[in-house]
Structure 1
Amino acid sequence: MDERTLIDRLKLGPVIPVIGPKSVESCLEAVDALVAGGAVAIEITLRSEISPKALEACRKAHPDIVLGAGSVMDVERYDQAEALGADFTIAPGRCQEVEGHAKGRSLVHVPGIITPSEILQARRDGFHLLKFYPSEAAGGTSVLKDLGSIFPDVMMMPSGGITFDKLPGYAALPTVLSVGGSWMYAKNGTYRSAADMSEQMKLSLDAMLQK
């Protein structure tokens, strides 16, 4: 999947559940419920031994969703994500080794940024799709609004501390492509019921698509 296709798909479903799997089974059950609620994209963070197995299981169970591999901060994780069938990798910051490795490959890499200086450098290096993290701690929509006026050619995928009530503010910003988080499948650190996950996913998509 190239960057243009990824952007077009995420525009249709601009809410990305970001899952750090506790087990393959619970992750797959959550993904099933989120997809039933309309999720177009899911991100599985590659931070544990369980994560690659969960990503692989989700790819097999849902071959048509956009599947992202999160916390990709080295070449080995990038190659692993590619082998497991991810559609994109995303990082909390910048890693030139990974970014150089990803150039010309079929798996889109999304670097993380937080400052205007990092955006300037990312643009010089050819990246115009970026993760803004940690979004709420860094100022959320007020900062993204200012950055959008300076860098209208950059699209942002903010995550970090975002909750349902914040979605209208993000939806109003033209440079925000998608938002990521866990509010739609977990509450106070505990997974919601499958029915609640599906409902929260639907409501979140409606809020971002301003339905």
Structure 2
Amino acid sequence: MQRKDEALLAILEGQPVMPVLKIDRLADAVPLAQALVRGGLPAIEITLRTPDAIDAIRLVSEEVPDAIVGAGTILTARDFSQAVSAGARFIVSPGITQELLDAASMSEVPFLPGAATPSEVMAAREEGYRLLKFFPAEQAGGAPFLKALASPLATIRFCPTGGVSPKNVGDYLSLPNVICVGGSWVAPDKEIAAGNWAAIEELARQARALKG
């Protein structure tokens, strides 16, 4: 677990914003990843919300060597296995189940499980996890909620995702228990659909420059 935690920590500490991506067209996966890498956000989360997600992970892992591609919206052990086989270097889930814990324990790929309540955070902590996704961040209480957790659960660090935007990202990044945030705003659907990779590269560059 310690080695996997160190690997995940290095990924999350490497940039203030983790792009959370929904790939509707497989042809967009590689140029999108390339634009984000050029903008300074090599670690990306491709969510399993579309039929092409697994193939997109495979393509990016094979064709964009500077990208650190992860898989998100992992709900089952089968999802976990497929994503790892496709080349995912980290796994993200909106929650935590025994099935996923078992799958993670048998894999060398680091796992970032989600939590939204103190009880869920404590349950993950009992399993040895110190890095968690806070989801859905805004709907679950936002930055004030995480600030309240910083003292009683001081050993836990979070990647808040869900409703994080340029308007509130600074509130999250200023917290001592936030390591980075997950955001979709760096890759807007309309820019992806238009193939406007230069605009996405610039959004990535702006996100890379954010500080707490």
Name the TM-score, length of structure 2 as normaliser.
0.92
The residue aligned with 1:206 is 209
Q: Could you tell me which of 82, 85, 91 is aligned with 2:84?
A: 82
How far off its partner does 1:107 sit?
0.8
Give yes or no for contact 1:75–1:101 (8 Å, CA) kept in 2.
Answer: yes
User: Hey, what does 1:138 align to over in structure 2?
Assistant: 140
Listed one character per residue, the Cα deviations across residues 59-81 of structure 1 (whole Å, up to 9, x for unaligned) are 11222332110011111111111
Partner of 1:191: 191
Q: For residue 104 of structure 1, report the CA deviation from its aligned partner.
A: 4.7
Q: CA deviation at 1:119?
A: 0.7
Q: Whole-Å Cα distance in 2 between the matches of residues 132 and 120 of structure 1?
A: 13
Give the residue type in structure 2 aligned to 1:107: V
1:99 & 1:8 partners in 2: Cα distance?
Answer: 21
For the Cα contact (< 8 Å) 2:7–2:110, is it kept in 1? no
Paired letter, 1:41: A
Displacement of 1:89 in angstroms is 0.7
Task: Work out the CA distance in 2 between the residues paired with 1:139 and 1:41.
Answer: 26
Partner secondary structure for residue 16 of structure 1: strand
Confirm or deny: 8 A CA contact 2:157 2:177 kept in the other structure: yes
Q: For 2:167 and 2:4, how far apart are their aligned partners in 1?
A: 32
Aligned to 1:155: 157
| C-alpha separation in 1, matches of 2:28 and 2:67 | 18
Would the aligned equivalents of 2:158 and 2:179 in 1 still touch at CA under 8 Å?
yes
Q: Deviations over 1:115-139 (max 9, x none)?
A: 0011111111111111100101112
Query: For 1:92 and 1:2, how far apart are their aligned partners in 2?
Result: 19
Counterpart pick for 2:57 among 55, 58, 82? 55
Q: Is the 8 A contact 2:37 2:66 kept in 1?
A: no
Identity, in percent, stands at 34
Aligned AA (2:203): Q
Aligned partner of 1:175 among 155, 174, 177: 177
| 1:9 match | 11
Q: Distance in 2 between matches of 1:200 and 1:164?
A: 10
What is residue 64 of structure 1 aligned with on the other side?
66
**Secondary structure of the corresponding residue to residue 130 of structure 1:** strand
Report the residue type matching 2:142 in the other structure: G
Report matched runs for 1:14-29 at 5 Å: 14-29=16-31
After superposition, the CA RMSD in angstroms is: 1.5
> Where does residue 129 of structure 2 map in the other structure?
127
Question: Aligned partners of 1:27 and 1:181: how far apart in 2?
Answer: 17
Paired AA for residue 147 in structure 1: L
1:5, distance to aligned residue in structure 2 (A): 2.0
